[in-house]
């Protein structure tokens, strides 16, 4: 699928950067967003993608992002809603302001940007929307009240959009990665070769998008085969 126009949020590091790299390697045009100018510049230089500094929780930034897609690619065919982060706290200690701020990115920003993109996809008669949820949105875990709730929301939103957008030939895919070795949550150096890498998630997404347009995977999870093995 080397002739598509991608918009990837949170594309300056981790899973997002891996998706940018994979999409560009397949010959696609890519616009991506991030909040760290140094990281944006590095990914843009390494991949040839067009990076812009933008925060999905800010409506004005989302409007500017869509306009950048029009300017640099003439529109877009694939939206990957990847931007997000985690806030963890046990119940009894959840800081409500922190939870609301996280929802501004993980949920409300995702909806706002997609709200601006869908009219373009309807006009052209097709498109793909990939929402990055999490296995934390499939099964809750200790300290996950806020984060898991945000990813359950992404899964539910995806199901609503599938119902609304399939008649317009717009596929909506919810992806639920298990633990991936990135700097997520500020942790680095997790180099267990048995666990998932960001490139594994990117490869799974590109493979799914390459299916014939009559086929839709509404949702899939990605797990490491044997992350507990020491051999």
Give the tens place of pLDDT for each residue, 55-91: 999 999 999 999 999 999 999 999 999 999 999 999 9
As for how many domains the chain has, the answer is 1
Q: Could you tell me if residue 228 is inside a domain? A: no
Q: Could you tell me if residue 104 is inside a domain? A: yes
Q: Could you tell me if residue 227 is inside a domain? A: no
pLDDT given for residue 189 in this prediction: 47
Q: pLDDT tens for residues 146-181? A: 999 999 999 999 999 999 999 999 999 999 999 898
Q: Could you tell me if residue 230 is inside a domain? A: no
Q: pLDDT tens for residues 118-140? A: 999 999 999 999 999 999 999 99
Q: Could you tell me if residue 215 is inside a domain? A: yes
Q: Could you tell me if residue 229 is inside a domain? A: no
Query: Mean pLDDT throughout 30-55?
Result: 98
Active site positions, annotated: 147
Task: Assess whether pLDDT exceeds 50 at residue 229.
Answer: yes
Confidence of residue 13 (pLDDT cuts 50, 70, 90): very high
pLDDT given for residue 194 in this prediction: 81
Strand partners, 196: 180
3-state secondary structure the chain: CCCCEEEECCCCCHHHHHHHHHHHHCCCEEEEEECCHHHHHHHHHHHCCEEEECCCCCHHHHHHHHHHHHHHHCCCCEEEECCCCCCCECCCCCCHHHHHHHHHHHHHHHHHHHHHHHHHHHHHCCEEEEEECCHHHCCCCCCEHHHHHHHHHHHHHHHHHHHHHHHHCEEEEEEEECCECCCHHHCCCCCCCCCECHHHHHHHHHHHHCCCCCCCCCEEEECCCCCCCCC
Q: For position 30, which CATH number holds?
A: 3.40.50.720
Tell me what percent of the residues of the chain surpass a pLDDT of 70.
94
Q: Could you tell me if residue 32 is inside a domain? A: yes
Q: Is 208 left (phi over 0), alpha (psi -120 to 50) or beta?
A: alpha
What range does the domain containing 170 cover? 5-222
Q: Could you tell me if residue 231 is inside a domain? A: no
């Amino acid at each position: 699928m080397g002739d598509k126009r991608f918009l990837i949020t949170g594309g300056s590091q981790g899973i997002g950067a891996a998706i940018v790299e994979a999409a560009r390697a397949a010959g696609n045009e890519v616009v991506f967003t991030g909040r760290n100018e140094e990281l944006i510049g590095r990914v843009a230089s390494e991949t040839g993608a067009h990076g812009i500094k933008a925060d999905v929780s800010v409506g004005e930034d989302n409007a500017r992002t869509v306009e950048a897609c029009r300017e640099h690619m003439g529109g877009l065919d694939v939206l990957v809603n990847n931007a997000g982060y985690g806030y963890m706290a046990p119940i009894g200690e959840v800081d409500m302001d922190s939870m609301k701020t996280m929802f501004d990115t993980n949920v409300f920003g995702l909806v706002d940007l997609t709200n601006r993109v869908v009219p373009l996809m309807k006009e052209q008669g097709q498109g793909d929307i990939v929402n990055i949820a999490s296995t934390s949105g499939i099964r809750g875990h200790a300290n996950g009240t806020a984060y898991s709730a945000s990813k359950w929301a992404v899964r539910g939103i995806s199901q609503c959009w599938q119902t609304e957008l399939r008649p317009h030939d717009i596929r909506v895919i919810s992806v639920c990665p298990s633990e991936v070795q990135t700097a997520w949550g500020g942790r680095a150096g997790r180099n267990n070769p048995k666990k998932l890498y960001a490139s594994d998630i990117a490869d799974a997404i590109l493979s799914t998008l390459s299916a014939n347009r009559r086929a839709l995977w509404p949702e899939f999870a990605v797990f490491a085969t044997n992350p507990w093995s020491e051999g």
